[in-house]
Amino acid sequence: MKKIVIAIDGHSSCGKSTMAKELAKQIGYTYIDSGAMYRAVTLFCLQNGLFVNNLLNEEYLRREIANISITFVNNPLTGKADTCLNGRNVEKEIRTMAVAEKVSPVAAIGFVREALVRQQQALGTGKGIVMDGRDIGTVVFPDAELKIFVTASPEIRAQRRLAELTAKGESATFEAVIHNLAERDRIDSTRKDGPLKQAADAIVLDNSNLTIAEQNQQMLALFNKKM
Ligand code: DC
């Protein structure tokens, strides 16, 4: 059967990746987490001391961006793809609050987006992929055959994110998490390059009141209808 590209965009912590991963598994497609790539570049900046007094040394990053290699490797324990930064598995580190707090300004830099968008497009040349992010249906794959824009209320998103962090043993408050999400949404939606916005031909899926099983069912139904 002919394979397609599925673009899933939406706000931070609205469950996009859970949905995208599950859909990819069910239909035998490759799942790509584009946010992990921006997180890996942010980790690189933190590891190399590029934030001084909260300001990023963009010139250093510009010189280094072509040497930053981001790859995905299958984790046999979880059955999922882990993110590697210059060959080192950084899956756990890129999910910390330290990275979450710095990722939006890094993702707003034009040359960072250019480099990562190019890599994302290369990953999709063979089709048969589900990619999630903020600009997948608008910039990375404007011709994607199926585009879904996921959303949920800010309170529900913060609750889910807090539960995720707590499960990983990270301590955070509801207030800190909801503030971080609102700030990321603001930066993501207002930046010049590849802002978070719904593609004109995207289907909106609000999962505020859906169980994971229900949202998976809806995604699969959208895929089947398209095919
Ligand atoms: O999906 P996520 O929360 O892991 O994404 C981390 C950050 O990366 C998010 O704040 C916005 C940014 N991002 C982006 O700008 N473009 C994408 N395609 C994916 C993520």
CA distance 14 to 75: 24
- CB–CB of 17/25 below 8 Å? no
CA distance 220 to 190: 31
CA distance 201 to 105: 28
Does an H or E element contain 37, and which? helix 34-47
CA distance 81 to 207: 24
Kindly provide the b/e burial profile for residues 156-188, where b requires at least 16 CB atoms within 10 angstroms of the residue's own CB.
bbbbbbbeebeeeeeebeeeebbebbeebbebb
Q: How far is CA 10 from CA 60, 80, 108, in A?
A: 30, 21, 16
Q: Where are the alpha helices (DSSP H) in 191-226?
A: 212-226
Amino acid identity of residue 176, one-letter, is A
Q: Over the Cα atoms of the chain, what is R_g? A: 17
Is the CB of 134 inside a 6 Å radius of any atom of ligand 1? Answer: yes
Q: What's the pLDDT at 42?
A: 98
Q: Strand ranges (DSSP E) for 13-166?
A: 30-33, 51-52, 55-56, 70-75, 80-85, 88-89, 129-133, 146-151
Closest CA to 148 of 16, 36, 38: 16
Q: What's the pLDDT at 1?
A: 81
Pocket test residue of 16, 103, 164 for ligand 1, highest count of atoms within 8 A of CB: 103
Q: What's the pLDDT at 171?
A: 87
Amino acid identity of residue 144, one-letter, is A
What is the full per-residue pLDDT of the chain (227 aa) written as tens digits? 899 999 999 998 898 998 999 999 999 999 999 999 999 999 999 999 999 988 999 999 999 999 999 999 999 888 888 999 999 999 999 999 899 889 989 999 999 999 999 999 999 999 999 999 999 999 999 999 999 999 999 999 999 999 988 998 988 999 999 999 999 899 889 989 989 999 999 999 999 999 999 999 999 999 999 99
Query: What is the distance in A from the centroid of ligand 1 to the CA of 130?
Result: 15
Q: What's the pLDDT at 113?
A: 97
| Residue with CA at minimum distance from ligand 1 atom 4 | 35
Q: What's the pLDDT at 12?
A: 87
- 135 backbone φψ class: left, alpha, beta (φ>0; ψ -120 to 50): alpha
CA distance 144 to 172: 37
Q: What's the pLDDT at 152?
A: 94
Query: What is the distance in A from the centroid of ligand 1 to the CA of 1?
Result: 31
Query: What is the distance in A from the centroid of ligand 1 to the CA of 194?
Result: 11
pTM of the model: 0.92
